[in-house]
Every structure is written in C-alpha cells, then in structure tokens.
Structure 1
Amino acid sequence: MKFVVVGGVAGGLSFAARARRLDETAEIVVFEKGPYPSFSNCGLPYYVGGDIPDRETLLLNTPETLHSKLNLDVRVNHEVTGVDAKAKTVTVTGPDGSKTTESYDVLVLSPGATAARPPIPGLDSPKVHALRTVDDATRLGELAGDAQTAVVIGGGFIGIEAAEGLAKRGIQTTIVEGSAHVMPPLDKEVANMVTGALGSLGVQVVAATQVKSIAPAADGPDLVTLSDGQEIPADLVVLSAGVKPATAAFVEAGIEADERGYIKIDEHGRTNLPDVYALGDAVTQETAVTGAVRPVALAGPTNRAGRLIADFILDPENARPLPKPLGTSIFRVGQMTAAMTGANRAELEASDIDFVTIHTHPTDHGTFLPGAQPMQLLMHFDAKTGKILGAQGIGGNGVDKRIDVIATAIRAGLAAPDLIDLDLAYSPPYSSAKDPVNFLGYVADNVLSGRLEPWYPWEFEELGEDAVLIDVRNHPEFNAGHLRGAECIPLGELREQAAEVKTKVGEKTVYLSDDTGANAWIGAGILTAAGVSAKVLSGGVNTVFAYYFENPGAVLEM
C-alpha cells in the first residue's frame, strides 16, 4: 500500500510514524511545503523571547533521520498543488518550480494553516511578520534585537506568548485585539486577569479595537494607526490575527469544506472523497460539549488524530474513532498560568444550554505552609443533571493540574458533584486536604441540591436601587472595596441580627457578598434559618474585581 501524506509536523508525521509501525512494507511519501518537516510550532514564541536560546532545538527531525528511523520518504520544499481523485494522483510543485505527479492508494491531508492577512493598508511593510514557521521565528528574533517598540495584532495564544517574549527582551509592546478582551475563548473574568498579568509585564492591551493602517517608514519605526484614533510607533509588528486553512487546492479538487475552507471529516478522519483523509488545523470537528462544528487547532488532538486515522486504515478491528475535542489548552503569561477545557459561557448560551457557573478562589496548597499561591477557578455545569460542561482557571502553581483533572472528568461523563469523590493526591507542598477540584464539587453539590443559590457580578447593575445587599466581612475588608449600596454586617454578628434583618427586608431577597463566597455561604444558612431568602455572590468580591477589571469603580466603593 502506498500512502501520500501532505504536510509534516504534528499531523502528517504522527500519521506516517504510526502507519510505519503498523505496516513495515508500506510505501510512505511525505510532502512538506517548507524546509522543516518536523519542528515545534508551540516553541516558536519562546525562541523569540529567548527562553529557547538555540534555534536548532526547535528542529525535531530531518528527512534523513525520518528515513533512517522510519523509512519515510520525506520531500521538503515540495508543495501539493492539485489532486485527481479519480486517477488517485497528486500534482506536486518542487523547489525548482517543476511539476510532477505522484500516485497514491491513500491520501492523508495535513496542510495546516497560514496566518490570516486582514485588509490593512501597509501590512506588506518589512517590519510586519507572522509567527507560524521556524523562519518566521528566526526573522522576528533578529529584528527584536534592535527593536524598542512592538505591536502585536491579535491577542490569542501566539499573540500573548509573542508579546510576553518581546517584553522580556525589554521591548515596549502593545497587543491590539479586535474582540472585547484578549483570549476570546476565556470568559471575561478570567480573560481580564490575563490582561492584568500582561500589564505586570509592561504589555499594554488595547481591546475592542482594530488596526486601521500601518505607515511604513524607511528610517525609524512604522506608525500603526488604530480604529480608535491611537497612533503607535512600532519597530516590529507581529501578525497574529487568526489563520486561514491552506486547503484551496483540495477544495478545488472536490473535497467538501465549510465556507471558510476548513475540510469536513467524519469520526475516522475521512473526507467525502474515497481514500482521502484529513486532520489538523485545516479540518473541523464536532466538539464534545455543545456539538458545535469548528476547527480545534491544538497539538494534542492533532497528534492523536494522526495515530487513530492510521489505526483505522491499517487495523480497523482495533481502531477507535477520533474523540470529540474538549479544546483543553493552557498558556503562560508572566508568573501566571491560564488554562481552560470544555465550553465557555458564550458557547453554552449560543447552544441554549441551561447551565450554572460557580467561582472559587483556592490556593495551590495549604496556607499553613509558606508559599501558597492563589488561583481563580470557574466551572460551568448543567443546571438539571450537573454534567460538567467546562472549566477555566488562572493563577500560580497548580492551575494545570486542576484543569487536567476536570478535563478527564468531562471525558468520563462525571457530574459536578462527582468531583467530591475524586481521590486526589495530597501532601502540604502539593495540595490541601480539600483539593480545589474537590471543593468545586462541594459548591456544585450545594447549588444542585438547592442549598446554595448563587448570583453573579454581571447581575449587579440590574438589581435596582431597592435591592438589599449585605457584606459579611469585617469592616477593614469591607472598607477596602465593597459593592455600592452594600451594608456591612460581619459574619460573627449576623446571627444576633438575623431577626432584625428579617423584619427589615420582609419578603425581599438578600444578596450576600464577601471576598470569595465561602463566608457568605455560611451567612446564607443563618438568614435562611431566620426565614430570609438569601443568595450568595459567586466567588465574592474577588470575582467582581476580575469581571470589572477595567473599571471596578463602576460597581465598587473603596
């Protein structure tokens, strides 16, 4: 059997390596458009920032090593520019521009994507570079050596990582993001903490704004003009405004794709053409939580897909379908880690799913041991069944561990209260006896059972002037920042005043708050026993600060 693989790196080479292990006799030809068949895409921003000092470290395998180890015929600087599905051939343009044809029994497409190029005047300036290839990273690293100012267009994974790297090199860096906040897949209260972490690095974030034009300068920095009228000088511009699938030749050959050019595949990676498969950044998949069909451009799912497609072709009796992706992802920003899995609030609302959100603010290990670092976790779950739908976190140590555990729980089909029962490793340097994941389960169980009724920062402005707000913190904490109109009744005094509160509020609901929600939950129990309807601010004032990060004074009194 002869396999032709279009594209190397994570997708194509994962397939090719697995196919070789399953069939020593197969002929496997890999066409890679660029000069590097196997490199770490995810490491590119860290090379620009100097965390990876040696460019060669990014290069994982060469055509020679791939031939020696796996007997793969890897042809770099060869671009597949056409497919004849009836003849089962591909047209290939070589490094000298000549065209040849190659036959196949099975064609596997992993063409990846290229940096999207918005219609911005001046985008062809020599100071503007994407960050998708090793050569991109090399050029950016060279330019960064002399740069004093930089603009990063786009605040996604690559944009944030590139901005951090440039800032570490002493470059005054600005991120321009068209959405309401950086990292649009994150919910607002977590994304705002990313903005804060970027600010601690000296990176300015301009959100809900587009780059209108770039005025190239032969001598000195380019001038980047924004849609809000700002003008920012830039010795270097990083283009990270999304991607475009590199699929035009394959769509022209009859492969079914969506309106953006992303290839449609089934649960085994098959396209609509016989013996043609696809994977990686250029395809769409049905996501696990909402069923939405979209691209999921992450290394983990791509590597798995390569293996599973090879299994399906060469060992179908033991093959498993491609798992529906959760989109579990993580990134560093300064001393902080941000991570997510499953669906966010916008996706759940768009899918008309009735869900509940909870917020907690644990530490990575017991506070009695020095060095405990705070984190913010949020979790979405089905309001009726408790099925976990998504989670996000940001903080110091331990965020990665908690999001990975929740991703596993989602894949296993656990409900949120099932997190209580997880037997997680505990020792004071690593966790607490009630692990933050267990604690999410406790809170979710209280919500689903009706013992706890949460309310949220975004509801504050809709409460009205006659709403009753009580903050149960002590007066110094209360004075440091509390919701406008809130009355301070410390938790230690609330029992004595519960009857008075009942007389005062009557049938009204009391909206309780504190710093994290834990003491307000105790307060709710006190008031409920006195016959008062009470709700607890999810995550407390800490979540309010995060949600209204840009203007906390809109809802808080200091």
Structure 2
Amino acid sequence: MKIIVIGSVAAGTSVAAKARRNDEEAEIVVYDQGKDISYSVCGIPYQIGGEVESIDQLTPRNAAWFKKRYEVSIFTEHKVTSIDNEKKQLEVLDLVIGDTKTDHYDILVFATGATPFTPPPFDQKEYDNVFQVRNIQDARDINAFSAEKQPKRVLIIGAGFIGLEMTEQLVHKGLEVTIIQMEDQVMPPMDADMTFRVEEQLRAKGVNLILSDTVKTIEGDSSVARVTTTGGITIETDMVILAAGVRPNTELAKEIGVAIGDSRAIAVNSKMQTNLPDVYAVGDVAESFSVITGKPIYRPLGSTANKMGRIAGDVITGGDLEHRGVLGTGIFRIFDLNVGQTGLTEKEARKEGFDVEILYNIKPDHAEYLGGKELTIKALADKKTGRILGAQIIGSGGVDKRIDVIATAITFKAKAEDLFHLDLAYAPPFATTKDPVLYTGMALDNALHGNPLLTPAALIERQNNGEKLQIIDTRSKKDFDKSNVKGAVHIPLGELRTRQAELDKSIPTITYCNKGVTGNAAQNVLLNHGFKEVYNLSGGNKNYQSYLKMLASKK
C-alpha cells in the first residue's frame, strides 16, 4: 500500500506518523510546496515579537528527521499540480529545478491547509511592505523587512486571533498599531458584549481601533504609504499585516470531484473519508462537526488538525478511530487579558433554536488576599434540558483551566448542576473555595429552577418596549449614587424585608447589586414574600454599565 499525503504541516505529518506506527510495510510519501514542515503557525506572532528567540524553535523537525524516525519520505518545495484519480496518479513539480514527475498512490490524503484571504483592494497589486502570517517564510519576510526598514507604524487588517496576537507583539516592540475591522466588533465569532472588554483593553494600550470599516483606496507605488477607509479615515503606515481570515485550499480536491461542504471546506465523515473511495481530507482544508449540534462547522485550529491527521492515519491502516467533533474551543492573550471561548455563543445558540439561560459570573480567579484578579464568565445553558451549551471567559489569569473544564463538561453533555458538583482543585494560590466554575454551575442551575436571570440586553429591551417594571438596587447609597440602572429605586438588602411592602408584588421585579451575589439574595427575599416574577440582573450593575458603554461605542 502506498499512501501519498499532500501537505506537511500539523495534519499531514500526523497522518504519516500514525500510519507508520500502525503499519511498517506501507510506503508513505508526503509532498509540500513550502520549505518547512511540521511547524507552529500559532507561534509565529510570538517569534516576530521576540518572545520566541529563534524561528528554529518553531520548526523542530525536518524531512531528514522524519525519514530517519518514521521511514517517511517528505519532499518539500514540490507542488502537486494535477491528479488523475481514476488512474490513481498525480503530477508533481519540483519548484527548485523545475522538473515534473508522475507518482502513483493507493490512498490519497489532502492536508493542503488554508490560504490567508487577501481583501480588496490589496488583491489588486503586490506591495513590498504588505505581509500575511501563515507560514515560516512569512515570519522570515516580516523579520527581514523589520530589520532593514525599521517600521514605526503598522496597519493590521482584521481583528481575529492572528490580528490581535500580532497587535500585542508589535505594540510590545514599540510600534504604533492601527487595526481596521470590517465587523462592528473584534473577534466576530464571540459575543459583542464580551469582546467589548477586549476593545477597551486595546484602546487603553494605545491601539487605534477602527470598527465597521474597510480600506477603500491605497496610495503608494511599490509600498503602501497610506490608505483611506470607506468611512473617510486616512491612515499613514510603514507596514501592513493582512489578518482577514483564511480560505481552505480545495482547488485540487474539487478538480477530481471531491465534495465541498457548506463551509467551503472538504466534506468528510467521522473517519476523515471524502465522498471518493481511498481519498481523505484532514486539517484546515476539511470540515469538522459540532459536538453540540452535530452539524458541519469549519474551525481551522492546529489542535484539531493534529487530531484529524491521527484519525485518518489510523483508519487508513486498519484502525477504528473516529472523529468525535469539536466545540471550537480557543484562547488567546491580548496584553493583560486572557480570552477563552468554547461551545456555542449566545448568537449561535439562538440561531440554532435554543431557549437559553444566560449567566454573567464575575469572580476572582483565586483568593483575593493572594492577588486574585477578576474573571468574567458568560455561560449558557439550555432551558429545556439544563445542558451547558457554551462559555466565554475573560480575565488576567485562570482563564485557560476554567475554559478547559467547561469544554470537558460540555463534551460529556454535563448539565448546569453537574458543574457545581465537580471536585476541582483548591488552594488559595490557585482558586477560591467556591471556584468560578462551581459558582457558574450553581447560579445557572438556580436560574433554571426558580431564580431566573435577566441580561442587560433583555432588561433594556423590555424597558424600551414600555413594560412596567420595578428595579431594586440593593447596594450601598454611595454605590447607588455613583452609577445605577435606569429606573431603579434604592433599597439596601438589609432593609428589603422591612420595606418590601412598598413594592408591588404583581409587577415584574428586577434586583441587582454590583456583580450579582447580593442581587440573588434580594431575589430570594422577594420570592419568599410572595412576589410572582423576580429576576436577578446577571452580572449586576458592573456588567450593566459595561453593556451601556458598549452600546454607546457602537453608535
């Protein structure tokens, strides 16, 4: 059996390695048009920024290493130009010497990855100071340009993972950074009320963030000197980084009739098989599917690519591994904040038809007397089943372990109540006695069973619709005078039992405090005194004021 893999980064090399572990007899050949193999794309911003000392640290293995360890032949700078799947043969161009050869296969694996999207008008002409961040050669080019030209101002197009990571690193290097983002928020896959906290962080660090805009015109001959946006803003720049997302490299696959999914990536089953016999697809060129909905999704991440490659290599050599889907779990750092996300966002859950309970949980990541800092968790549960559907977490520490715990819980179909019963590690340097994950489960379960939550968005919508509400601020007079919810009356929690007769039990009532805990206590008091419909404002006044600031910033 001869296996040919097209592509030698995370997914392609994983296919080859697993196939060899299972089968010593198979001939395994890998072709890649690039110079480097099995490198860390995600590490590139940190090497450009200087946190990783050498590019060599991102490319720990080469073709000779694979040949010696796995008896796998990897040919770099070799481009597969055409495939005849009926004859099971392909044409390969040696990009160094220009020769073409024909090779034959029994099994073909597409691990062709994805290509950075070049948005207009940058797609009209090549410029010597415009770069993308997708492979090791891109890093070499950016480093060489920076060393020679010493740029002071950089324009970044796009505010996803790569755009934000490059922003952080270039600001650390002392560059003046402008971001232009087509959507009205950074990190569009997340919910806007959470990413607004990232936007505040960017602006606090001196980043010029321009949302809901695109580049309309470019000035400069061989180099981009300045751009003008559709909104009429002119920006002078010394360097441009395009970080506007990626598109799967499906051209070769489409030429032989491989089916493409709705996401524009190759459609595969749980064994990484395409619609064609003996043809597989893995990594950033292939679709995955959602653990929650079962529907195909496209999540080009290195962790998923490695997993898909291992599964394909096993199946090809007689194994029974199957892909179990993904949650789209991701995390990134932006200056002082860590930002994690897993499962469905609020907008995705509603689009899928879920009736969701939404909790904003603001808690320290570990004991405050040991320097614990605030985490903001937005978590969703299905009102019908209680199942946790997703979470987004922002904070200066402890985000990674909380998002991973919740991702694990979602994978195993945990309900809100199950989070509370987890036996998580506790010591003051690492957690609080009631860990933010445990509190998330407890508060969501309470909300699903008689103590409903109300988000700032839902409250404002009901107010705008003219609904008669009574809103109770349970904090101190000092805090109330500093800022409060529109229409609120001030009744501290300690006075609520004796003053509850001042309120109308028949009117929908909202209680709140600063972050949510005292608001929940007040909610219980009123429910126990016969109030029919009482909500706790999720995340309290702090989250409410943040939401108002977000709305104001988008006008």
Q: Is the 8 A contact 2:266 2:285 kept in 1?
A: yes
Q: Which 5+ residue runs of structure 2 have no aligned equivalent? A: none
Instruction: Please name the residue that 1:485 is paired with.
Output: 487
Residue deviations 1:73-129 (CA, integer Å, cap 9, x gap): 010001112221111112211113332211011111100011111221565222211
Q: Is the 8 A contact 1:85 1:273 kept in 2?
A: no
**What is the TM-score of this pair, normalised by structure 1?**
0.94
**What is the TM-score of this pair, normalised by structure 2?**
0.95
Q: Is the 8 A contact 1:359 1:377 kept in 2?
A: yes
Instruction: Please name the residue that 1:535 is paired with.
Output: 535
Q: Is the 8 A contact 1:248 1:261 kept in 2?
A: no
Query: Per the alignment, do residues 553 and 110 of structure 1 end up closer, same or farther by CA in structure 2, a change over 3 Å counting?
Result: closer
Q: Is the 8 A contact 1:93 1:99 kept in 2?
A: yes
Q: Is the 8 A contact 2:108 2:280 kept in 1?
A: yes
- Shift in Å, 1:299: 1.2
Instruction: Please name the residue that 1:116 is paired with.
Output: 117
**Map 1:389-400 → 2, pairs under 5 A:** 389-400=389-400
Of stretches 532-541 and 151-160 in structure 1, the one that deviates more from structure 2 is 532-541
Give the aligned CA root-mean-square deviation in angstroms. Answer: 1.8
Instruction: Choose from 209, 214, 220 the match for 2:213.
Output: 209
Residue deviations 1:458-492 (CA, integer Å, cap 9, x gap): 12332336432221111222223212222222212
Query: Per the alignment, do residues 359 and 301 of structure 1 end up closer, same or farther by CA in structure 2, a change over 3 Å counting?
Result: same
Query: Per the alignment, do residues 512 and 143 of structure 1 end up closer, same or farther by CA in structure 2, a change over 3 Å counting?
Result: farther
**Rounded Cα–Cα distance in structure 2 between residues aligned with 1:196 and 1:33:** 41
- Shift in Å, 1:290: 2.5
**Rounded Cα–Cα distance in structure 2 between residues aligned with 1:476 and 1:218:** 60
Residue deviations 1:239-283 (CA, integer Å, cap 9, x gap): 011112112122011111136641111110001111010011111
**Rounded Cα–Cα distance in structure 2 between residues aligned with 1:65 and 1:396:** 39
Which residue identity lines up with residue 521 of structure 1 in the other structure?
Answer: N
Instruction: Please name the residue that 1:236 is paired with.
Output: 239
Instruction: Please name the residue that 2:254 is paired with.
Output: 251
Q: Is the 8 A contact 1:420 1:441 kept in 2?
A: yes
Instruction: Choose from 275, 282, 296 the match for 1:293.
Output: 296
Instruction: Please name the residue that 1:188 is paired with.
Output: 192
- Shift in Å, 1:10: 0.5
Query: Per the alignment, do residues 507 and 297 of structure 1 end up closer, same or farther by CA in structure 2, a change over 3 Å counting?
Result: same
**Rounded Cα–Cα distance in structure 2 between residues aligned with 1:542 and 1:63:** 54
Instruction: Please name the residue that 2:427 is paired with.
Output: 427
**Rounded Cα–Cα distance in structure 2 between residues aligned with 1:327 and 1:156:** 14
**Map 1:102-181 → 2, pairs under 5 A:** 102-120=103-121, 124-145=126-147, 146-181=150-185
**Map 1:503-514 → 2, pairs under 5 A:** 505-514=504-513
Does residue 309 of structure 1 match 2:312?
yes
Instruction: Please name the residue that 1:453 is paired with.
Output: 452
Which residue identity lines up with residue 361 of structure 1 in the other structure?
Answer: I
- Shift in Å, 1:546: 3.3
Residue deviations 1:36-65 (CA, integer Å, cap 9, x gap): 012110001111111112121111211111
SS at match of 1:381: strand
Residue deviations 1:347-374 (CA, integer Å, cap 9, x gap): 111111222111100111122x221111
Instruction: Please name the residue that 2:204 is paired with.
Output: 200
Query: Per the alignment, do residues 53 and 200 of structure 1 end up closer, same or farther by CA in structure 2, a change over 3 Å counting?
Result: farther
Query: Per the alignment, do residues 553 and 266 of structure 1 end up closer, same or farther by CA in structure 2, a change over 3 Å counting?
Result: closer
Instruction: Please name the residue that 1:520 is paired with.
Output: 519
Which residue identity lines up with residue 349 of structure 1 in the other structure?
Answer: R
Q: Is the 8 A contact 2:32 2:76 kept in 1?
A: yes
**Rounded Cα–Cα distance in structure 1 between residues aligned with 2:27 and 2:64:** 16
**Rounded Cα–Cα distance in structure 1 between residues aligned with 2:527 and 2:197:** 34
Of stretches 103-112 and 45-54 in structure 1, the one that deviates more from structure 2 is 45-54
Instruction: Please name the residue that 1:388 is paired with.
Output: 388
- Shift in Å, 1:345: 1.4
Q: Which 5+ residue runs of structure 1 have no aligned equivalent? A: none
Instruction: Please name the residue that 1:360 is paired with.
Output: 361
Q: Is the 8 A contact 2:126 2:222 kept in 1?
A: no
**How many residues were matched structurally?**
547
**Rounded Cα–Cα distance in structure 1 between residues aligned with 2:292 and 2:218:** 40
SS at match of 1:361: strand
Instruction: Please name the residue that 2:323 is paired with.
Output: 322
Of stretches 380-389 and 523-532 in structure 1, the one that deviates more from structure 2 is 523-532
SS at match of 1:90: strand
SS at match of 1:325: coil
Does residue 225 of structure 1 match 2:228?
yes
Which residue identity lines up with residue 115 of structure 2 in the other structure?
Answer: T
Q: Is the 8 A contact 2:16 2:72 kept in 1?
A: yes
Q: Is the 8 A contact 2:215 2:229 kept in 1?
A: yes
Of stretches 369-378 and 254-263 in structure 1, the one that deviates more from structure 2 is 254-263
**Rounded Cα–Cα distance in structure 1 between residues aligned with 2:143 and 2:295:** 38
**Rounded Cα–Cα distance in structure 1 between residues aligned with 2:105 and 2:17:** 17
SS at match of 2:139: helix
Q: Is the 8 A contact 1:40 1:60 kept in 2?
A: no
